[in-house]
Amino acid sequence: MCGRFTQYTPKKQIAEVFNLDPGGLFDLSPRYNIAPTQQVAAVGQTKDGRRKLAMLRWGLIPSWAREMPGGAKTFNARAETLQQRPTFRDALGLRRCLVIADGFYEWGKDKTPVYFYDSMGKPMAFAGLWDSWKSGEGKTINSCAIITTEANGLVKPVHDRMPAVLYPAEYGWWLDRDGTDAGELGKLLRPYQASLMKAHPVSKRVNDVRNDGEVCAAPLNLPLIT
């Protein structure tokens, strides 16, 4: 699963990595302890093929839902069962996004949180799904879920699941609104190459969603995970 992650890359670099128009971006505050039901930055694609940055509620609310469910139930979507879950099936075919992340946290058996991130310090893209829901009062909420897959060799000693991280060459394929079937998309949802990531233990400060700041992702004085 993925229950906490970070977003702190400056918008100029985000524009370069995700091929966005820098003039159309809004400022993003660095965040080091993002939790479900909070707003997250994600990249989607418009009908005319342009990529767009948006803020989405983390915890997908399907458009057909009668009421807003708890985000804890829909913030992750297992890659293996996407087509079996009505909440995620329609979004997989029509509403895919890239959730921007600089790293994510997982907790092992000893309850020590571990921070996983790109070995070169670059932002990553989690495969995501989004939807738009309207309340009875007419309020619109755009929301998303992060797809998870089996853990790679680096993450597995800590947790058996991890976000489905896409490679840059796959961003366009995942965002394409035309001509991509679920079977082909499924090929992208596999464990990310462990050699392209690093990890280190962090303090239990990250356990409390009220805590934020660089200290959340700072390494503890414990043996590093390589």
**What is the DSSP code (8-state) at residue 8?**
-
What is the rounded CA–CA span in Å between residue 81 and residue 95?
A: 17
Show the DSSP H helices in the chain as ranges. Answer: 11-18, 71-74, 86-94, 171-175, 182-186
Whether the Cβ atoms of residue 196 and residue 118 lie closer than 8 Å to each other = yes
- Active-site annotation holds for 184: no
State which amino acid sits at residue 47.
Answer: K
- Active-site annotation holds for 2: yes
For 68, the token pair is 């807003």
Phi/psi at 109 (5° precision): -65, -30
For 79, the token pair is 């890659």
Query: Which of 16, 67, 97, 106 is flagged as catalytic?
Result: 106
Query: Which of 2, 97, 144, 216 is flagged as catalytic?
Result: 2
What is the rounded CA–CA span in Å between residue 118 and residue 196?
A: 6
For 221, the token pair is 């004085």
**Catalytic sites, residue numbers:** 2, 106
